[in-house]
Structure 1
Amino acid sequence: MAHNYEIYGVVLASEFELKAPLVTDKSPDIHIKLANVESAPPSHLESVSAFASISNTQFWLDVPNIARFFVADLDTINVQPYPTADMDSVELYLLGAVLGPLMNMRKYLVMHGNVVHLEIHGQIHRLLLCGHSAVGKSSFSAYLINQCNACLVADDLAVFNSQGVVCSGSPRLKIWQDVSQALQLDEAELTPVRPSVNKFDWHIGERFISEQASVDLVVLLTGDNENTVEIEEIQGVKKLSPLQNQIFRKEFAKTAGLEKIHFILIGKSFGHTPVIKLGRPRSSKILENFEKMGKALFTYLTNEPLGATRDKS
């Protein structure tokens, strides 16, 4: 029996349980099936790497020791787990490395980033936090949620529809153990993302919102600073290249011939949206780094120090 889940604006009917939000009153857009997947990609697909091949409607991926996946005609994902694989790891790749390219092929714009809503003096700021892998997108999101009363909209994948509106993800945030300890998170709200990895799903609960809306600030996180935090605004057409670099699995989208539609969607989603660079200090003092970044961000948004708006009551 399939379970129906809603995530990123589509309904998934899955033959195995997922950690995404359940729905009962909507018809599925995508079917996830446990089925045989060939060990080699179909010959008509174009190779992206030794483990991935793609067209504009199909996608084959082999994650060694986890599973093979085949996306067929934009509405079916066949999954064949390896015999020793755990289903948490299978789900992790399914909802990220597989669903991300599929949503791109379905003419959504998928950015590699997090979306949070930050309310200051009654005004909501909808932020897209982007940057290269391991720069701290989820970690800084966790800080804003834990310390500054922000709410999560999406983690890791930020999916925008044809109107430039971001679609909500799942009420959990993937964070490393050292970050959870620095923020003193409740261990009861944490579960391992997958076995033998010091990374956890932080179950956000009521700090998650499913409201769909456009973002009003793009924050490109960088890790170039020694012990200071700097904000740099990117103006005009100079925004285009940095934004294109944040497309999830950009090389997959290019191979699938999606560059033109993504150019249009970037314009719709961010044409009038400010873009800034926010440098993350290299210091090992995690909480101190985030506090400096938070202060700089709040000052940019409000011209007030962070302490004037923090309220955890």
Structure 2
Amino acid sequence: MYFSIYNLTIKSDILLLNAITGSKTDNPDVVVKRVDNIVVDLSQMQQVGAYCWCAPDALFLSIPNVAQCHIYDGQCIDIALTESADLGLVTAYIQGYFLAIILQQRKRMVLHGTTLQKGGQAIAICGASGMGKSTLAMALIGQGWQLIADDVCAFDEQGQVVSGCFEIKIWPDVINALSLDELPVFSSGLEKRQLTFANQACSADEAAPSYPLAAIYCLQTDAEQNAIDEYKGMQKFAPLKMNVYRTQFMAAMKTEIDFMKNCSAFISNIPVFKLSRDKCKLSKQGLEGLSSLVINSLQSKV
């Protein structure tokens, strides 16, 4: 099976969902293989989590009761599944986490953020897990924006934002807050639900579009009311580094220099905003306020 995600042609033994179906090729960019077992010399890698080891060109992850995974050389993903593996969870890992690591091994810039576009211009909403990225994205989608990718903001060599899968994962309380219909469960091990945007899918021979980046919003819960402030000059590099995908891996992957090069190449002239909200759960009224701050900030830059 062949797919196209983040402008990578992927040959996969595991069915990927809500992705562009790719054409068969003898030289795919990425190969996802199911294997019986994985043997890795962990002594040559740095432990970066309870079940994760990392090196500049490789990452090994053990997901208890699900799978062992080896991601290496910027092109290979080997997966040894347990008998009781949750395939929905495995697919979610491949389409997000694992491909983000592949891109970083290829020296690409990857931020932890949800990306949208309107009128051919993209924005990235970055922030830690649970900060409200996907929730704010849903509010903007309701105002005519289109999803580019959820949770992983990836760039090509020219600094354009590239398309991921046409799906977004949201919490049940967000579904209620936005008065959405009940959404399907994609994994028995996770509470999040999945909303797909099949109308955005491209044909097998049509490359997914990429978009110039208009602004980056770093979402934080450190204010008593919604607020927005623009980072100026060198101030923007610290929040961007904080929002690199899996920041804790940077030292082991030795990607700090690549990060600075990429920032200098195509983000130095992009406005970066601190978007603050209170620590309460996002309400419909709060989302309207946040989305207005985003839209007004864009209009002020035109």
Query: TM-score w.r.t. structure 1 length?
Result: 0.87
Contact 2:170 2:193 in 1 (8 A): yes
Separation in 2, partners of 1:22, 1:244: 33
Percent identical residues:
26
Q: Which runs of 5+ in 2 are unaligned?
A: 203-207
Alignment of 1:246-265 (within 5 A): 246-265=243-262
Contact 2:3 2:20 in 1 (8 A): yes
Separation in 1, partners of 2:56, 2:162: 22
Match of 2:211 in 1: 213
Match of 1:60 in 2: 60
Contact 1:104 1:253 in 2 (8 A): no
Contact 1:112 1:156 in 2 (8 A): yes
User: Which of 133, 138, 163 is the matching residue for 1:137?
Assistant: 133
Match of 1:31 in 2: 31
Greater RCO structure (CA 8 Å; 6+ sep) = 2
* Deviation per residue, 1:221-265 (Å, 9 max, x gap): 111223x21111100001011111111112223212121112101
Separation in 1, partners of 2:176, 2:60: 38
RMSD between superposed Cα atoms in Å? 2.0
1:73 is displaced (CA, Å) by: 2.7
Separation in 1, partners of 2:154, 2:58: 19
Contact 1:103 1:109 in 2 (8 A): yes
Separation in 2, partners of 1:276, 1:224: 14
Separation in 1, partners of 2:28, 2:282: 45
* Deviation per residue, 1:196-217 (Å, 9 max, x gap): 5331111123357842122111
Separation in 1, partners of 2:141, 2:178: 10
Q: Which moved more, 1:23-32 or 1:9-18?
A: 23-32
Figure out how many residues of one structure are paired with residues of the other and give that number. 293
Alignment of 1:1-313 (within 5 A): 3-19=1-17, 20-24=19-23, 26=25, 27-38=27-38, 41-119=41-119, 124-146=120-142, 148-187=143-182, 190-206=183-199, 210-226=208-224, 228-284=225-281, 286-302=283-299
* Deviation per residue, 1:158-191 (Å, 9 max, x gap): 111222111110110111111122222244xx32
- Read off the aligned partner of 2:261 and give its amino acid letter: I
**Which stretches of structure 1, 4 residues or longer, exceed 4 Å deviation after superposition?**
none
- Read off the aligned partner of 2:20 and give its amino acid letter: P
Structure 1 SS opposite 2:131? coil
1:40 is displaced (CA, Å) by: 6.1
Contact 1:69 1:79 in 2 (8 A): yes
Structure 2 SS opposite 1:192? coil
- Read off the aligned partner of 1:254 and give its amino acid letter: A
1:290 is displaced (CA, Å) by: 0.2
Contact 1:67 1:80 in 2 (8 A): yes
Contact 2:14 2:91 in 1 (8 A): no
- Read off the aligned partner of 1:280 and give its amino acid letter: R
- Read off the aligned partner of 1:21 and give its amino acid letter: I
In structure 2, do the counterparts of structure 1 residues 72 and 235 end up closer, same or farther at CA, with 3 Å as the change threshold?
closer
* Deviation per residue, 1:98-153 (Å, 9 max, x gap): 2222210111111100111134xxxx54211001111111111011102x110011
Q: Which moved more, 1:276-285 or 1:129-138?
A: 276-285
* Deviation per residue, 1:6-29 (Å, 9 max, x gap): 111211111121112211255521
Structure 2 SS opposite 1:70? strand
Separation in 1, partners of 2:161, 2:61: 26
